[in-house]
Amino acid sequence: MQELDKNYLTELQNISGGIQNSDLLAQYLDTEEEEVYKALTEEFEPRIHELYLKVANNNPLQIESFENELLNPEFEGLYLPKVLGYSVLRGEINDQYKYIKPQNHFKDVLMAICNSANFDLIKLRIGQTVQVGFFLSSDIWITNFMDQVTNKKVLNFLESLMSDRFRVEKNRELAYNKYKIQFNSFNYQSAEFPANPAELKSKAKSLKSFLIHRAGDDYNNDALMGHIGRFINNSSLYAEDSYLELLMIIGMMFDLKGDLRGNYTKAFDEVRAKNKGIQQDFFTILVDLHADENIKMHPEYDNHLSKLVTRNKDEISKYFDLMDVIHGKGYIHQDSIDATQKYVDQHEGLSPQNKCVRETILTYFEKFMNNLEPSDYPEYFEINKTFVLYMNIFYNQRFNQAVKDMSLRYIKKLLKTYTDKRGRDYQDIKKFVTATFLDMNFMNEKEIAELFKTRRVKKVSK
């Protein structure tokens, strides 16, 4: 946890001062009416949220320090329901949907709420969050927390949120994923960069999630570069299994500049030299990154890493030599197609190397198809020839299925746009699909006929 900048601290103090001096707070203290506290919330929480976003976007390692400042009673519990949710979701969980380690920050935030003079109103906004935090925690953790709660009314509220149905793993999974969806648009991720092998073992997973999150949106990551630089230069971590994956993520997803680029290359070379199994490990990790549903892999990622990796005669160099051709000339260029064919022929069909190449080509296909408007369908007709060439190179069922799925999605979009069955557009589309989808084994004659079948509208009986 990084200390909060003084500028942020000053802004927070200004907000807390505004709360304490506000007429709304004075009115609430006189009346204790829910509507007045709600008005106080509507007045000041947007200001807190605006500052929170500034910290989260520009200095994400200071988020927890920022949240700790909000535990001060002078904030009257404002914004704590959101902070409680962030603290619950920030904790790393295992496959059984249980926290890997006790969540002290969740404990601190919840205890501050329990001790708040405004608990009766805050509790109206935290029920689901507390329930999720409790079923992710161990029974011992919950018991220890409850023992510290002295107010019987608060204790009864907390106990009412515990349910035996969450002792079933599947129920925890469903409830957690449903809860997490509510926060998909929020930027609350933070992490700590490990300084030694012991810390790396416990923090690698959360750091990986954090790095992927920061790379996946248009965030200002300047404040992270010093931490990334120290992580890259930390030779005590080079022999650790999880270090290579994090190093690859940094090289692919972050724009390293100046000395960082040279330091990265040096670190990668040392890891490469010390790890005898790196040729296998590298491609296994790359395959897993492509398969991770939480990561949107971009074609440019290979290109970023390629520019940082020293060339020699190993498998990693051969892979990036191919990527340089594909990214440099474009996957449609005949040189790229020929180079891919040569590379694939030199490796077993189901090898991780070939799988990485297939996934990279698919990212290009997906990028093209996702940007294709219905009016651009002649371009789809043309690119389909390239699809066929790569399908013949890879001869892989999963690859073919992925191409089929994206093609069929686009065709269905076209049929919703061009509904005049006598029109030229519709007829061109039907003619193309009938000829090519059959040849590509995407659909049989019956399925194609069904796709273009006229749907009769059922008459509503009077």
- Segment 54-64, tens digit of pLDDT: 999 999 999 99
Residues 6+ apart with CB under 8 A from 146: 155, 158, 159
Return the ∠ at Cα 246 (arms to 235 and 260), rounded to 5°: 60
What is the rounded average pLDDT of the residues 418-444? 93
- Segment 148-166, tens digit of pLDDT: 999 999 999 999 999 999 9
30 within 8 A of 73, measured Cβ to Cβ = no
CA 288, CA 144: separation in Å to the nearest integer? 39
Q: How many CA atoms are closer than 13 Å to the CA of 424, on its beta-carbon side?
A: 2
Nearest Cα residue to 268 out of 241, 300, 286, 243: 243
What is the rounded average pLDDT of the residues 170-198? 94
**Of residues 274 and 106, more confidently modeled:** 106
Pull the structure tokens for residue 2: 């990084």
What confidence score (pLDDT) does residue 293 get? 85
Pull the structure tokens for residue 220: 């200002």
What confidence score (pLDDT) does residue 396 get? 95
Q: Is the pLDDT of residue 295 over 80?
A: yes
What is the rounded average pLDDT of the residues 125-147? 97
- Segment 302-355, tens digit of pLDDT: 999 999 999 998 999 999 999 999 999 999 999 999 999 999 999 998 999 999
Q: Is the pLDDT of residue 300 over 70?
A: yes
What confidence score (pLDDT) does residue 439 get? 92
Amino acid, res. 133:
G
pLDDT over 70, % of the chain: 98
What confidence score (pLDDT) does residue 299 get? 84
CA 439, CA 351: separation in Å to the nearest integer? 27
Nearest Cα residue to 390 out of 411, 412, 360: 360
Residues 6+ apart with CB under 8 A from 44: 15, 18, 19, 22, 78
The pLDDT mean for the chain works out to: 94
Reported as a pLDDT band with limits 50, 70 and 90, residue 461 is: low
CA 361, CA 89: separation in Å to the nearest integer? 34
What confidence score (pLDDT) does residue 313 get? 87
What is the separation of C-alpha 260 from the centre of its chain, rounded to a whole number of angstroms?
A: 25
Q: Is the pLDDT of residue 462 over 90?
A: no
54 within 8 A of 11, measured Cβ to Cβ = no
Q: Is the pLDDT of residue 460 over 60?
A: no
Reported as a pLDDT band with limits 50, 70 and 90, residue 26 is: very high
Reported as a pLDDT band with limits 50, 70 and 90, residue 458 is: low
What confidence score (pLDDT) does residue 404 get? 97
Q: How many CA atoms are closer than 13 Å to the CA of 128, on its beta-carbon side?
A: 12
What confidence score (pLDDT) does residue 276 get? 85
What is the separation of C-alpha 80 from the centre of its chain, rounded to a whole number of angstroms?
A: 24
408 within 8 A of 414, measured Cβ to Cβ = no
What confidence score (pLDDT) does residue 318 get? 96
- Alpha-carbon distance values, 289 to 60, 79, 360 (Å): 23, 35, 11
